Amino acid sequence: MQLKPIGRIRSPFAHSPGTPIQPCFAGGHTGEAEIFPENAEGLRDLAGFDRIWLLFWCHRASDVKLSVVPYRDTVERGIFATRAPARPNPIGLSCVRLTGIENNILHLAEVDILDGSPLLDIKPYVPDYDVYPVGRTGWIGERGLDVVAADARFEQPS
């Protein structure tokens, strides 16, 4: 199970501190996904979608921790009950807005991804497939703090 990047993210965020923790908190921030030319054929028909999932490698994530204090809490939670990047397989998942495509460049809005992140996959966002009614959202629903930007806690020292 070996990954190879299909492209690279360009964003205003060189480091974690101040980076939005999710696209829903990244309103005005724009960025680009540069798709490597050998994968450009796969972008056909993508421009018809308002939003896309980006799967990317959290290349600046700190070492794996199975218990973390997430940004939105003050006590430890199991890593799989959080969206923190210090995961066994540090794959990030963000639903960003696709504002345009020029050749092999995707123009993006509501970007919460660090600059230079290797891009692994793009999937169209389809409400039939991705939107489900849920009642319980665990600790996030019960006591999620009103934090919208990251700090350095999950970033490897540079």
* Site map (CB under 8 A) of a copy of itself, residues 88-117, x = contact: xx-x-x-x----------------------
Q: Is residue 140 involved in binding a copy of itself (CB under 8 A)?
A: yes
Which CB atom, from 95 or from 115, has the smaller least distance to a copy of itself? 95
- Round to whole Å and give the CA distance between 129 and 127: 5
> Whole-angstrom Cα distance, residue 49 to residue 134?
24
| Identified binder of a copy of itself from the candidate list 63, 74, 102, 128, rule CB under 8 A | 128
At 146 the three-state DSSP class reads coil
Q: Which amino acid belongs to residue 103?
A: N
Does 130 sit near a copy of itself (CB under 8 A)?
A: yes
Q: What CA–CA distance (Å, rounded) separates 56 from 121?
A: 7
CB of residue 18 vs a copy of itself: minimum separation in angstroms? 19
CB nearer to a copy of itself: give 12 or 83: 83
Nearest residue to 126 (alpha-carbon basis) of 71, 68, 46: 46
Count, residues near a copy of itself per rule CB under 8 A? 64
With H, G, I as helix, E, B as strand and everything else as coil, classify residue 81. helix
* Binding region for a copy of itself (CB under 8 A) out of 9-17, 49-57, 149-157: 49-57
Nearer to a copy of itself, 102 or 142 (CB): 142
Residue 81 sits in the site that holds a copy of itself (CB under 8 A)? yes
Do the Cβ atoms of 94 and 21 come closer than 8 Å? no
Q: What is the DSSP string of 105-123?
A: EEEEES----TTPEEEEEE
The SS3 assignment for 31 reads: strand
48 binds a copy of itself (CB under 8 A): yes
What is the closest distance, in whole angstroms, from the C-beta atom of residue 63 to a copy of itself in the complex? Answer: 14
- Tell me if 147 contacts a copy of itself by CB under 8 A: no
